Structure formats: structure tokens, C-alpha cells
Structure 1
Amino acid sequence: MKKEANKITRKEAIKKMGKYAALTAVGTFLILNPQKSQAQSGTDPCDPGGGLDPDC
């Protein structure tokens, strides 16, 4: 006698994939948050070649 493998339906698989996709999106957003990246960049927009800030 052979044991049957644990099988899940297509609907259950899609549901699980959706959870992983949501978790990945949140993690990516936290890592690549634009405000946090800009604060850590160390470049001054008023430096030559640092950006096109009209207030400088």
C-alpha cells in the first residue's frame, strides 16, 4: 500500500500564494521606502550635480 501525498486544491494553492505575495510586497515596501532611502542617501540637493531643486 502506498500513502497518498498531501494534495491541495487549486483554490487553496492560489490562496496560499496570495498570502506570500502580500507578505513579499509589504517587505519590499519597507526595505525600499523612498523617504527612508532619501534620508540615508547623504547627498545634498543643493550640491552641484546633486539634483534639480529650484530653491537652491
Structure 2
Amino acid sequence: MNKSSKQNTITRKEALKKMGKYAALTAAGTFLVLNPHKAQASSPPDPGGNPFD
């Protein structure tokens, strides 16, 4: 292993720490985008109703 590739490697612990941060950020972003209260407010009153009534 040469010197430059040695400097670019990270340990398993560091990789898991980074992935944990990305997972937390993704979960928070998904929750904000798919917020159930906003989805319920924008849905029609009777989504499965007959449109020809």
C-alpha cells in the first residue's frame, strides 16, 4: 500500500460514524417531506368517493 492510498483510508468505526450521520439526516428529511399532517390537510375530503354523485 503506497503512502497516498494509506492517507485516504478510514477505519470501520469512522465509516459507521459517517453513515450514522447520513442516516439521521435522511430520516429527518424524509419526515419533513412526508409529514402526515400536511398530507392529510392537502387530501380531498372523500378520496375514494364516486365523482359522479
Paired residue type of 1:4: S
Q: Match of 2:23? A: 21
Identity %: 67
Runs (5+) with no aligned partner, structure 2: none
* Number of corresponding residues: 47
Moved over 4 A (4+): none
Higher relative contact order (CA 8 A, sep 6+): 1
Segments of 5+ residues of structure 1 without an aligned counterpart are 50-56
Q: Report the alpha carbon displacement of residue 8 of structure 1 after superposing the two structures with TM.
A: 0.4
Query: What is the TM-score of this pair, normalised by structure 2?
Result: 0.73
Higher relative helix content: 2
